[in-house]
Amino acid sequence: MTAPLHDTGAAGAAAVDVATDVPGKAIEGRSPWRIAWIRLKRDKVALAGGVVVLLLVLVAAFAPLIVGLLGHPPNEFHEETIDPFFSTPKGSWGGISSDFLFGVEPGNGRDVFSRVVYGARVSLLVAFLSAVVAVVLGTVFGIVAGYFGGWVDAVVSRVMDLLLAFPQLLFIIALVSVVPNSLWGLQGSGVRMAVLIAVIGFFGWPYVGRIVRGQTLSLREREYVEAARSLGAGRGYILFRELLPNLVAPITVYTTLMIPTNVLTEAALSFLGAGVKPPTASWGQMLSKAVTTYEADPMFMIIPGVAIFVTVLAFNLFGDGVRDALDPKGSR
Amino acid sequence: MTIPGQPSASPEPAAPLLKVEGLVKHFPITKGLLRRQSGAVQAVDGLTFDVRPGETLGVVGESGCGKSTMGRLITRLLEPTAGRIEFEGRDITHLGVAGMRPMRRDVQMIFQDPYSSLNPRHTVGTIVGAPFRLQGITPEGGVKKEVQRLLGLVGLNPEHYNRYPHEFSGGQRQRIGIARALALKPKLVVADEPVSALDVSIQAQVVNLLDDLQEELGLTYVIIAHDLSVIRHVSDRIAVMYLGKIVELADRSPLYTAPLHPYTRALLSAVPVPDPARRARRERILLKGDVPSPISPPSGCRFHTRCWKATEVCAREEPPLLTLRPGHAVACHHPEDGSDSGARGAVT
Ligand SMILES: Nc1ncnc2c1ncn2[C@@H]1O[C@H](COP(=O)(O)OP(=O)(O)OP(=O)(O)O)[C@@H](O)[C@H]1O
Ligand code: SF4
Ligand SMILES: [Mg+2]
């Protein structure tokens, strides 16, 4: 303790060193992200969720290829598979066969497998992109409100309260009914999807904003912010180089947990007729159609229902795992 | 460490590096939606002192007396409410972010909490290299080489460049903070309780490191501490603060051996004494009550609510900080050397 410090350069530092050195190996820091990845790898349930998420993304991305190999074009009618008298699929289990893997749609005989695969596209695209919109808006407004405080914070916080209290489902249904058929160079279902993404994202940002604002409020009091200021850092540096890296973890967690919510919202809107336009396939729309036929043909309701369930569950399990791995609260 | 020598002998001390006059910081307390001001925390209330080149000024006081606020004012992390701060003769009292940027090279700060002063998402290399990036300087041989040299200078393994703060102990983290503060070769370093968050067993190591670095690099220090034991061996002069004011300012040895302010005596009595014979002779002064709130400090002498020598004049009149002996200033109506008789209106 009383040893002069001049010779602690090597010996002293080594003596009190953390015991993680592998002798002879170049010293590489274990970043907080690497540690999170190591933790996530140990979480089998989360990994299973992640694998399903990955499969779903692949299915959505390669929908035309998959349908080309295993199904029929999603909008092709196969009246020969429908019982002309009851207009339900011929055969048991909703017409499931080696030709129609998930059976056929009552009334017109469209391939349910193809429609579920294409429905994944709509569902995931809307869910992802609206999450992106919400995260970008929420991060910008949350960080600004938290860092600058004062009247900026007061205004942003009131706007967030207002949006959170807004009946968004009703608003979207009303909005969709007045949106023109072509907009921003998009047509038909494209317009509907753009509107869904914009609106779900817009009503989603306050959730992200609240979290980011709260985190920023506590982060801005850390001494490393003062240290940066004492070196002459301006606001931009502090916001983007000092604070933002510490917000990425909570934002990542929230995003992975927001996507399943958005999947459900999209399904609900499609169910209510405010989603993509027929004949574009979507899960919610299939459910809505199944309401009139489920007594005669329950499979047509079960299959899109299971698709939604599996998607939401997989994202939630994966998101929970990511949260545990990143442990945004305890991270130092 | 021993620059000032005999204060009475040197007729004209060198021009101060830092000159502080009547420094005041009040934090407004706002109420309600309209943010009307309903009062103020008088964290720092009229400080006047100099810091001479090459010396170490220790600043001591209980928690909440405004030491950190003082440190943040002189490093201009806070905007003063009133008063004047001069660095090397230049008025820096109200410089903005851009105006201060070049000054930042000369005035640096070491922070109290090594767990909060290093960004957990940055590597040590990024942290210690930040001063160069922010000031737009490329050191000789490149940033990486200079950072490794600095790590070696503070007693860390230069190979730990790519590590993250969580991989270090508290004492090592504080060394990283010191390396960052020294990167730009500052003239003045303000250290805000640099060891109070550390294990007692490594406090001395870090204090000794600061001391060695001062000699090596010709630094000037303002070291803040909450008791008189930590800074005893490194300070040339010591300022004792109480509720936003300096109550005593003196060279080290007179302050420790013959304190003039009752508060200083009370603080000293809490310093552990190694010598058992002296320990037995010494009385332990226990201050009664808590530090009053800086929102509504006591009238007159702010210490009168806890002072055992307080008289009626203490509650009425604020004692000015007077130089009673060469290099020894105190703000008290009844200083410990008994020089208060009559002249100051002490009627008992
Ligand atoms: N930003 C702020 N806003 C309002 N009040 C503040 C602020 N910073 C400090 N204060 C108040 O000013 C007073 C002095 O605080 P300061 O941190 O300077 O004390 P200190 O002497 O450093 O104490 P400690 O030993 O606990 O660090 C305290 O009452 C504190 O609550
Ligand atoms: S002025 Fe009076 S109250 Fe204040 S320290 Fe001196 S004796 Fe005590
Ligand atoms: Mg403090």
The DSSP line for A34-82 is HHHHHHHHH-HHHHHHHHHHHHHHHHHHTHHHHHHHHS--TT---GGGB
- Per-residue pLDDT at A95: 64
- Per-residue pLDDT at B337: 76
- Per-residue pLDDT at B152: 93
Q: Would you tell me how many other CB atoms lie within 10 Å of the CB of residue A85?
A: 6
Contact B117, A227 (CB under 8 A): yes
Produce one character per residue of B182-203: b if its CB has 16 or more CB atoms within 10 Å, e if not. Answer: bbbebbbbbbbbbbebbeeebb
Given pLDDT bands bounded at 50, 70 and 90, which one contains residue B1? very low
Preferred mutation among B68, B78, B103, B121 to probe A, highest tally of A CBs within 10 A: B121
Mean pLDDT across A68-77: 73
Under an 8 A CB cutoff, do B121 and A246 touch? yes
Rg (CA), chain A: 26
**CA atoms of A146 and A106, how far apart (whole Å):** 54
Given pLDDT bands bounded at 50, 70 and 90, which one contains residue A81? low
Token pair listed for A216: 């920023």
Given pLDDT bands bounded at 50, 70 and 90, which one contains residue A86? low
Contact B24, B82 (CB under 8 A): yes
> Which residue's entry shows tokens 């170049």?
A26
Query: From its phi and psi, is residue B231 left (phi > 0), alpha (psi between -120 and 50) or beta?
Result: alpha
pLDDT > 60? residue A18: no
| Among the ranges given (A41-45, A68-72, A202-206, A288-292), the one the predictor scored with the smallest mean pLDDT | A68-72
- Ligand 1 binding pocket mutation candidate from B69, B74, B75, B302 (most atoms within 8 A of CB): B69
pLDDT in tens, B17-35: 999 999 999 998 877 666 6
Taking the centre of ligand 3 as the mean of its atom positions, its distance from the CA of residue B250, in whole angstroms, is: 22
**Is the CB of A21 inside 8 Å of chain B's CB atoms?**
no
Taking the centre of ligand 3 as the mean of its atom positions, its distance from the CA of residue B64, in whole angstroms, is: 7
Which is higher by pLDDT, A29 or B55? B55
pLDDT > 50? residue A304: yes
Under an 8 A CB cutoff, do A332 and B166 touch? yes
Under an 8 A CB cutoff, do B134 and A232 touch? yes
pLDDT in tens, A249-275: 889 888 888 999 988 988 888 888 887
- Per-residue pLDDT at A250: 86
DSSP H or E segment with residue B91 = strand B90-91
Which is higher by pLDDT, A290 or B203? B203
pLDDT in tens, B154-185: 999 999 989 999 889 999 999 999 999 999 99
> What lines the ligand 2 site, CB under 6 Å?
B 262, 301, 303-304, 307, 309-310, 314, 319, 332-334
- Per-residue pLDDT at B303: 93
- Per-residue pLDDT at A159: 93
pLDDT > 70? residue A2: no
pLDDT > 70? residue A10: no
**B317 inside domain:** yes
Mean pLDDT across B115-138: 92
Q: Which residues in chain A touch residue B209, judged by CB atoms under 8 angstroms apart?
A: 5
Given pLDDT bands bounded at 50, 70 and 90, which one contains residue A23? very low
Specify the amino acid at residue A254.
Y
Specify the amino acid at residue B252.
R
Judging by DSSP bridges, how do beta strands B36-51 and B328-330 pair with one another? Answer: unpaired
pLDDT > 70? residue B130: yes
Given pLDDT bands bounded at 50, 70 and 90, which one contains residue B3? very low
pLDDT in tens, B36-79: 777 889 999 999 999 999 999 999 999 889 999 999 999 999 99
Under an 8 A CB cutoff, do A12 and B162 touch? no
**CA atoms of B264 and A316, how far apart (whole Å):** 61
Choose among B116, B156, B160: nearest Cβ to A222. B116
Given pLDDT bands bounded at 50, 70 and 90, which one contains residue B261? very high
Under an 8 A CB cutoff, do A10 and B157 touch? yes
Q: Would you tell me how many other CB atoms lie within 10 Å of the CB of residue A68?
A: 12
Third-level CATH fold of A61-326? MetI-like fold (1.10.3720)
Mean pLDDT across B252-272: 89
Which is higher by pLDDT, B9 or A108? A108
Q: Where are the domains of chain A?
A: 61-326
Q: Which residues in chain A touch residue B104, judged by CB atoms under 8 angstroms apart?
A: 230-232
**B120 inside domain:** no
Given pLDDT bands bounded at 50, 70 and 90, which one contains residue B12? low
pLDDT > 50? residue B92: yes
For B272, the domain range is: 264-348
**Is the CB of A7 inside 8 Å of chain B's CB atoms?**
no
pLDDT in tens, A270-295: 888 887 877 788 888 888 887 788 77
Task: Give contacts of B 278-317 with A, CB under 8 A.
Answer: none
Query: Helix (H, G, I), strand (E, B), or coil: what is residue B247?
Result: strand
**Is the CB of A234 inside 8 Å of chain B's CB atoms?**
yes
- Per-residue pLDDT at B285: 75
Q: Which residues in chain B touch residue A32, judged by CB atoms under 8 angstroms apart?
A: 120-121, 164, 166
> Which residue's entry shows tokens 């909060």?
B116
Under an 8 A CB cutoff, do B155 and A224 touch? no
- Per-residue pLDDT at B278: 63
Given pLDDT bands bounded at 50, 70 and 90, which one contains residue A168? confident
**B329 inside domain:** yes
- Per-residue pLDDT at B346: 39
Distance from chain centroid for Cα A98: 33
- Per-residue pLDDT at B7: 46
**B272 inside domain:** yes
| Among the ranges given (A184-188, A307-311, B21-25, B193-197), the one the predictor scored with the smallest mean pLDDT | A184-188
**CA atoms of B116 and B174, how far apart (whole Å):** 10
- Angle between helix B170-182 and B124-135 (nearest 10): 20
Mean pLDDT across A235-253: 90
pLDDT > 60? residue B344: no
Query: Helix (H, G, I), strand (E, B), or coil: what is residue B223?
Result: strand
Nearest CA to ligand 2 atom 6: B332
E-strand ranges in chain A read: 182-183, 186-187
Which is higher by pLDDT, A296 or A165? A165
**CA atoms of B309 and B322, how far apart (whole Å):** 18
Q: How many domains does chain B have?
A: 1
**CA atoms of A161 and A165, how far apart (whole Å):** 6
